[in-house]
Amino acid sequence: MTGHTGARKRRPARTVAGIGAALLPVAVTVGLYVFGRTHTPDYTSGLFGQHGVGVIDLKSRLGKALMALAVVQLLLGLWMYRRLPGAGAAPHRVHPTHRLIGLLAFLLSLPIAYQCITAYGVEFTSSRVAVHSITGCVLYGVFVAKVLVVRSRRLPGWALPVAGGALVTAIALMWYTAALWFFAGSAPGF
């Protein structure tokens, strides 16, 4: 009888923790959005000593590197789950490599995101800028979701590939609406 009561007491705590974990990515996304809409943008803000078109060029180059890391992450993830055609089983070193590259990608994204949100905030001046702004907020919510999914052992098997795929998709969309747009010769002005 005592074991039954103990299980009953733990269930609400697990439910609260589960709801909290589900809401955390949403809170991160909404928090970034609210900050980006309410703070006063500083269009003169620089990054690593670069300003104006120089900072846009630097962010585009960093974004290109981030996109490359995301593609490597995707390929390593497919390899780990035996979904990479002709690759066979992934050696054990692929798992820590995948984590290390993920960490590097996250760290690389931070200066880009910081400069974007402080210099421009969340803007809707064009459809490209709106998509870029919203995706930038969602990117970090999806990152939090992926970390939570990786740590959970109770979620269905499809949850991790969906979270990882959403993260790669968000990075690709950010790259497409900023770095590729810049390198294609469009007028600067993120």
Whether residue 178 lies inside any domain: the answer is yes
Q: Which of 4-8, 102-106, 167-171, 177-181 has the lowest mean pLDDT?
A: 4-8
Whether residue 58 lies inside any domain: the answer is yes
Whether residue 177 lies inside any domain: the answer is yes
Residue 12, number of CB atoms within 10 A of its CB: 9
Per-residue confidence (pLDDT) for residue 48, from 0 to 100: 86
At residue 183, does pLDDT exceed 80?
yes
Whether residue 189 lies inside any domain: the answer is no
The contacts of residue 181 (CB under 8 Å, 6+ apart) are 128
Whether residue 167 lies inside any domain: the answer is yes
Asked whether the beta carbons of 118 and 39 are under 8 A apart, the reply is yes
Asked whether the beta carbons of 175 and 66 are under 8 A apart, the reply is yes
Whether residue 165 lies inside any domain: the answer is yes
Whether residue 28 lies inside any domain: the answer is yes
pLDDT digits (tens, 9 = 90+) for 1-33: 555 555 555 555 566 666 767 899 999 999 999
Domain count, the chain: 1
Whether residue 190 lies inside any domain: the answer is no
Residue 164, number of CB atoms within 10 A of its CB: 23
At residue 180, does pLDDT exceed 80?
yes
The contacts of residue 29 (CB under 8 Å, 6+ apart) are 137, 138, 140, 141
* Structural domain for 105, as ranges: 2-183
At residue 165, does pLDDT exceed 60?
yes
Per-residue confidence (pLDDT) for residue 93, from 0 to 100: 95
Q: Which residue has the tokens 């010769």?
A: 185
At residue 111, does pLDDT exceed 90?
yes
pLDDT digits (tens, 9 = 90+) for 138-159: 999 999 999 999 888 888 888 8
Q: Is the pTM of this model over 0.85?
A: no
Asked whether the beta carbons of 11 and 154 are under 8 A apart, the reply is no
Per-residue confidence (pLDDT) for residue 190, from 0 to 100: 43
pLDDT digits (tens, 9 = 90+) for 35-72: 999 999 988 888 888 888 888 889 999 999 999 999 99
